[in-house]
Amino acid sequence: MRIKTNRKNLDEYLKQFDMLTVLSQMGIDAVNEFLGSPKKDFACIKCMFHEEITGSFVIDLKHNTFKCFGCGITGDLIDLIMLYTDYDPTPLGDNSFDFFEAIRWLEHAKEAE
């Protein structure tokens, strides 16, 4: 599959994925709470990039983006995979992923569903 890597196409491509599903495929599924009920537009989990007791990692479920209000890390689905494998590659592979490896992993995870 060929993807033009401009921002608009990338956002369009990423719409097919659900960040919570991707997180559980990454071995992370501890949702603390859903915020913004009853529409459940946001989910809050414990941040995987810093130690914390209560969750401050907020996922915008509608836009597939995240922001941690504890350590300030932020980004989209691709950033999440790249940052996560940079932080701790062992759950997904042996090394940190670049952009294309992150896309490849997403495609693979989608097929495995």
Residues that bind Zn ion (CB under 5 A): 47, 49-50, 68, 70-71
Cβ of residue 72: shortest distance to Zn ion, in angstroms?
A: 7
Contacts of 3 (CB under 8 A, 6+ apart): 9, 10, 13, 103
Cβ of residue 48: shortest distance to Zn ion, in angstroms?
A: 8
**Start-to-end CA span in the chain (Å):** 18
CB atoms within 10 A of CB 106: 20
Cβ of residue 47: shortest distance to Zn ion, in angstroms?
A: 3
Nearer to Zn ion, 13 or 49 (CB): 49
Contact 65, 29 (CB under 8 A): no
Nearer to Zn ion, 45 or 68 (CB): 68
Nearer to Zn ion, 41 or 52 (CB): 52
